[in-house]
Amino acid sequence: MKALSLNILDITQNSLRAGADEICISISESVAADSYCIKIKDNGSGIPVDILKSITDPFVTTRTTRNIGMGLPLFKYHTELTGGKLQINSVEGKGTEVTANLSFSHFDRQPLGDIVGVLIILIAANPAVDFIYTHVTDHGEYTFSTRETKEYLGVNTLYERGLLEDLAGMIAVNLMEIEVTGVVYKEIV
């Protein structure tokens, strides 16, 4: 994983497997406060208390196709490399919240990468799930919600020819506006 957006994509898979239908991804970065905080919150099935204690152990997983799980351990590793801390709060039946507090200026903090592409993949592959993405910087705040977008456009799904590309363009323009750092933008026509 070479970018934080890939970690976000990975952790979101956990939420999806937990049957969540609303996933909030929020990032708040501040040069002034030297902080970079990533929060992924879902309303999935939650994590049982006995598993929660050892959840960042790669040899703990509930899946059956293989007996290791590297998602959270890797995210924790990338967070702690910057002197940061990863926190997981979960209530069974209610949902899970993963919070990573990284140092903005640390040499080992990965760039965000192609966050727009990650969002588009999540939207295309999970039409029934609502995604809410919030990004806060020193220069402003931007929120993108799939539910709001669907209601506004009067459509049932955003997975439509041309629409995904337009969404990508719209999100990118707004992220540039608030001067999000470390993002790789695809060419916008």
Partner 1 sequence: MSKISSLADLRKKREELQTGMDIRTRALNPENIVQVKVAMATCGIASGSKTIMEFFLEQLDRRNIEGVVTQTGCMGYCYAEPTIEVKLPGQDPVVFGFVDLKRADQIIEKYIKTGELVDGIIPVNYQTIDLKE
CA distance 167 to 116: 9
Indicate which single residue of 153, 179, 181, 184 sits in contact with partner 1 (rule: CB under 8 A): 153
Rank residues 104 and 114 by Cβ distance to partner 1 and give the closer one.
Answer: 114
Residue type, 90: S
Restricting to residues 34-93, which ones interact with partner 1 according to CB under 8 A?
63-66, 69-71, 74
CA distance 4 to 45: 25
Rank residues 91 and 184 by Cβ distance to partner 1 and give the closer one.
Answer: 184
Q: Compute the Cα dihedral for 125, 72, 42, 94 and give only its sign.
A: positive
176 CB-near residues (< 8 Å, 6+ apart): 185
* Residues contributing to the site for partner 1 (CB under 8 A): 1, 6, 9-10, 13, 17, 63-66, 69-71, 74, 114, 117-118, 120-121, 124-127, 148-149, 152-153, 156-157, 159-164, 166-167, 169-170, 173-174, 177, 188-189
